[in-house]
Chains A and B, each alone.
Chain A
């Protein structure tokens, strides 16, 4: 059964995290996730741009998906949280009518308030199903420890994420793929990225805390559903090491990369060589494709 979505890749997967976009497209095809990419929509505002601007921008995106009759799929927790927040505010009929009148009517658009906004993680568990995910495993991730790191927007606020069980999907996926869950206390906290320009010291302290806990608990990699968390944990890892004098050497993997590895895709094809924190040691630990040793079933 195919699962159709209007696809909102977000700016970062087209910018500094191209490996996220590429690995998602590759993995989605394996799970019959059919996406129609929205190319004429704007940046969600990322929690920086005032809601007075980002709500109309997001209403436009939601209206376009609605006109296609499809739910909106994101691969970035920040896009998910910010567009999800706009969608929640736009359930208020009076507010929606004002945004439609002031910003969308002249483009012949009208948002009716019906678009469901879903992150790839949620779609994988709720639409595809973990049983189907497991049935495609060609390289179980047995023996590898994964620290889940959700960041903020996939766990809060509860009225935006809608279902409390979604707070545990990430570890459910890695465990279904055969990996071991290496839980860390800050998995739903901020990665530090939003504070990079305001207070770098705070940002690095947060990042160091999460990386340090994952490493000390024996994680082989960290899994993130958000490219901004990736920019911080992976891109800034060497800077955080310099600032704190601690060595982490922890590979940070995008969610589609982890799924892709388990279903037998090539690490290079999934862009693991494009990370700033080396993934070489991790890749060397992977079992050969076709190995069924202790395969999760």
Chain B
């Protein structure tokens, strides 16, 4: 089929400058292979990334017709609209030339932070079941599509992002590893797991079904089990979690007023910080002074927390050491 590639070769994302290339290719050819054909037959100066062409290296991610794709995994026939495929860089990666991204800055440097290999924990037989989640995370090709969809990266490029945090998961859940708590603390640094807003965009964007948002949430759960609720001295974050847990385990539900006060540093400090907004809320009837009673059945909720804390007591002691 006749395809016109509108290939961005300059300008900005908002005001792109395109050069058109026509080529006749079979509809089942991948977009990446078609771009290689254009480069080989028409213009050897076209710059774009790509290597394996079989969905293994994750290098050929581009924006095609406005959607971000691993281009060796999508066909020309399904991608084209009225015979046209517009090729642009992805949104957040810096561009070196044409649509060739600087993936080191955008992604690889962040992934490397969490890529320290397994530090053996003394060795014990590992079951297939134990390794299954790790194998899943190991299938990540760092194609960057999860970072492209990330709500936090959208406002702050310093966030490690789901691809790098998938690498953290890969080692933090490895049953052979001996430095889990240390890894979880590293992942809890600023711009790490606690900055994720669990919007599930990463899970939706992963072309390999690896569910990166789920992996980040599992990593946070594991950090909490180790008693780690912030890795960079963000006391507010720690107090928030503790107040949340205390409220639900004592009363069965959330007492927002006391959680807000405790989060901001207790009755006096928190009171001062939340006073102006609190008074306005009270005046408007948005907040009330109605007491938050214990829910009927709260003792059953308490038992769930107690059981959890008992079973993770060993991990928390490990943190203190």
Contact = CB atoms under 8 A, between A and B. Distances in A.
B is bound to A: yes
Given A50-B308, A152-B197, A11 B253 contact: yes
A40 B281 contact: no
Contacts of A47: 198, 217
A201 B157 CA distance: 13
B33 interface: no
A235 interface: yes
Contacts of A52: 221, 225, 308
Interface in A133-160: 152-153, 156-158
Given A156-B203, A274-B284, A206 B151 contact: yes
B240 interface: yes
B253 A206 contact: no
Given A103-B304, A156-B200, A42 B248 contact: yes
A209 interface: yes
Contact of B286 (A11, A19, A201): A19
A283 interface: no
B197 A190 contact: yes
B contact face: mostly helix, strand, loop, or mixed = helix
A18 B253 contact: no
Interface of A: 11-12, 14-19, 39-43, 45-53, 56-57, 60, 102-103, 107, 152-153, 156-158, 186, 189-190, 192, 194-195, 197-199, 201-202, 205-206, 209, 235, 239, 271, 273-276
Given A39-B296, A199-B191, A275-B284, 12 more contacts: A15-B256, A17-B286, A40-B296, A41-B297, A51-B221, A52-B221, A57-B304, A102-B307, A103-B307, A199-B156, A206-B154, A274-B286
Q: Which 6 A-B pairs have the closest CB atoms?
A: A156-B200, A11-B254, A152-B199, A205-B155, A40-B297, A50-B221
Interface of B: 151-152, 154-156, 159, 190-191, 194-195, 197-201, 203-204, 211, 213-214, 217-218, 220-221, 224-225, 230, 234, 236-237, 240-241, 244-245, 247-248, 252-257, 263, 277, 280-281, 284-288, 292, 295-298, 300-301, 303-305, 307-308
